Amino acid sequence: MIRALICDLDGTLFLGHGKTVFDLTQRNRDALEKLKENHIALYISSGRMARFGNEVLMHFGFEDLVSSGFNGGIGIDNGKTVFRHELSSESARKAMILLKEREFPYRSAQIQTYNDVRVFDDLNSPDVQRYREQIKETGIGRIADQEIVPYLKDPLAQIGKLSIRFHEETQAREAMELLHEEMEDCRITMSDRDLVDVISLKAQKGNLIDYLITQRSYRKEEIAAIGDGLNDVDMIQKAGWSFAMKNSDKELLKEADLIVEDVCECCERILE
């Protein structure tokens, strides 16, 4: 019997959202209500800042607030940080240097910190304005006045992840392969088809499932997980029952037990 569903956000729970990411589709809203009615916990494991996961849970009336952010870089259990794996300034700087030396034509780059700050490589990038609008809508995070290069001179920078967005998927995958080959001290993954994430070597989304099993008395067979990206592979490998969105990364589709249209269909299968 499933006791908890671990859910990704972008491309999964947030798929098809309205004006803000918290304006879920009606089907997904109904699905969350069914989880609560059947006393099944919802926990969040996302590439976003962990605060997004907590806000989702509170917004939809869940009381057990357990979430993970930065692709398993941090875990929070009802306000207490239970694991945290920072990306070093040196590793972030090395990744940026590699991409510039190889002249990869990326669209924008940003660092996200553990105090909810976004630091961009170019404050004039169109992506910056998009995030400013998102911050106004959600109230989560802020954009730093300084850019990445001066920020990385601080050896005590609290970095959750470095994200590089490319113009197309093929460029992103080529960059991921390069960084994976050249950087053994950190983990390289993708949280969207055009978005490469550089995170701590210890960070992975499955960390939340490890925590639930070792510290919250869950058994593997009591945990279901759903996602859509390459960064979700280790998470669904550790779950007792795994689901992938139909538009998922091909590597995730290979690993999932079931492929579904949306989170609602996933919940329906769990409750059958």
Distance, CA of 237 to CA of 204 (rounded, Å): 12
Res 178: pLDDT: 95
Q: What is the pTM of this model?
A: 0.96
Sheet holding 117-120, edge to edge: 142-143, 117-120, 106-113, 159-166, 195-200, 186-192
Q: What pLDDT, on the 0 to 100 scale, is given for residue 64?
A: 98
114 vs 112: CA distance, rounded Å: 7
pLDDT at position 156 is 80
Regions in the chain scoring below 50 on pLDDT: none
CA–CA dist 203, 63 (Å, integer) = 26
Q: pLDDT value at position 266?
A: 98
Q: What is the pLDDT of residue 155?
A: 78
